[in-house]
Structure 1
Amino acid sequence: MNYYEQQIDLYFELKGTPDSSKESYLRRMNTFIKFIQDRQISMDDITINDIQQYILFLKRERSLCAGTINNYISAIKFFYTYVLGREWDAKKIPRMKRPHKLPLIPSKEDVLAILQATTNLKHKAILMLIYGSGLRVSEVAKLKISDIFAVKP
């Protein structure tokens, strides 16, 4: 694996990838490599079928969610194409569909209870603004006084 790690380090250094992303990719690639080695398959002999079997293993045996499996697929694709120099077939190794979940909307009573329990006036104003206007937290965080009140010069 030392040769592979050197190739991976070189790529991420040239690209300027953050250490956290590099560590995430390495962790996922190492897990895949261990899976392959446990089955006594040479790195040069890895096939699309081996990758498919690993993805099924992640899904069935480890019960990982679609988003996590897609992260593994990205790391394996990088390893397979960049390090091993092989051709990736996206038709045979599709990314998993992530279920679309609708947001949970709290009841009016729950919202009122939260507002009544909030003692800090600033926090209460922020919560009321979020609830009353439908703004996202990030949108409220970027608000300026001029966005709410017309400021006259």
Structure 2
Amino acid sequence: MINNPFIPAYKAYLKLERALSGNSITAYINDVQKLFQYFESIDKAPSVKEISSADLKKFISWINELGMLPATQARVISGLKSFFSFLMLEQIIVEDPSALLESPRLGRKLPDVLNIEEINGLIAAIDASKPEGMRNKAIIELLYGCGLRVSELTNIKISNIFADSEFVKIVGKGNKERIIPIGATALKYIRIYLEQSRVHIPIKKGYEDYIFLNRRGSGLSRISVFTIIKDLALASGLKKSISPHTFRHSFATHLIEGGADLRAVQEMLGHSSITTTEIYTHLDRDYLKGIINGFHPRS
């Protein structure tokens, strides 16, 4: 891969000036590196000052031919625009070659959701006799009960839980903090896990305050949470393809279908824009029909 001397400075800019999380920074850097992988594949090694709009359009055609999904292409283009904006800001280049790049048109994909019976089935499939049983119950209850992202779940600390007032402090994207109500069921399983399971784990230094640990006493990884959920889906006989984010979708959808205020859900999800939350207002036709029949004067 071409060794770009501006990558370290760009990384520092993303961290210090834009206050992005580690995962977001890695994604932005990977997007830029894809461009230089392309140049490497065609035996071309331009400096950033030599990259033209034509080069970028050829790169977009290249990733399209590789079969990259439109949503992924859009994210890569966004990453490149951020990189060239940084170069402009630092006066390394005088013209932005990405200015005229257009992202592929994306359809608004409705998120998959689970109904309450499916969620209960997943929880029932957890083997409570195993050491990790109560931990996994607490994980599902937090993902669904609080609408957490998987990275928020794995980074949650014991000191973030305020059991008396039934709130939990979450550190989300860009290190933004928010306070979310936490239900009695989630608190119950967290307490059981902490008192009966976690106390028997030899905890590694630096992880004393983290709630969710693996059997070696270090933090639970995002991949581990994905694996736990995939295994539960298999054990419960669930045919849907699910991930930790499915519980976040279900949390939002069930709240809105139950009549929750959209801005309250936005606050709990940690969305900076209400338009992001509005995707969860997809309601089934029977529900909409019931609203019309029940409340419209002409029904």
TM-score normalised by length of structure 1? 0.61
Structure 1 match to 2:83: 79
Structure 1 match to 2:13: 11
CA offset at residue 103 of structure 1? 7.7
| Shift in alpha-carbon separation, 1:51–1:140, aligned structure 2, 3 A | same
SS of structure 1 residue aligned to 2:6: helix
Structure 2 match to 1:33: 36
1:7-37 deviations in Å (ceiling 9; x for gaps): 1122112221100000011111111112123
1:61-114 deviations in Å (ceiling 9; x for gaps): x11111100011011112222135332554x3111101345789xxxxxx9xx9
Structure 1 match to 2:102: 94
Structure 1 match to 2:58: 53
Among 67, 85, 89, the alignment partner of 2:71 is 67
The 5-angstrom pairing of residues 98-117 of structure 1 reads 98-100=106-108
CA offset at residue 138 of structure 1? 2.0
Q: Which amino acid aligns with 1:38?
A: S
**More helix as a share of residues:** 1
Structure 2 match to 1:129: none
Structure 2 match to 1:137: 251
Query: Which consecutive residues of structure 1, in runs of 5 or more, have no partner in the other structure?
Result: 105-110, 124-135, 144-153
**Higher Rg of the two aligned structures:** 1
| Shift in alpha-carbon separation, 1:59–1:140, aligned structure 2, 3 A | same
Q: Which amino acid aligns with 1:3?
A: P
Identity of aligned residues (%): 15
| Shift in alpha-carbon separation, 1:19–1:70, aligned structure 2, 3 A | same
* RMSD value, Cα: 3.5
**Which moved further from structure 2: 34-43 or 16-25?**
34-43
CA distance in 2, matches of 1:4, 1:81: 13
SS of structure 1 residue aligned to 2:5: helix
TM-score normalised by length of structure 2? 0.34
> Is this contact kept in 1: 2:64–2:73, CA < 8 A?
yes
Q: Which amino acid aligns with 1:81?
A: S
Structure 1 runs, 4 residues or longer, greater than 6 Å off: 117-120
CA distance in 1, matches of 2:36, 2:119: 51
**More strand as a share of residues:** 2
SS of structure 2 residue aligned to 1:97: coil
**Which moved further from structure 2: 34-43 or 13-22?**
34-43
CA distance in 2, matches of 1:59, 1:33: 16
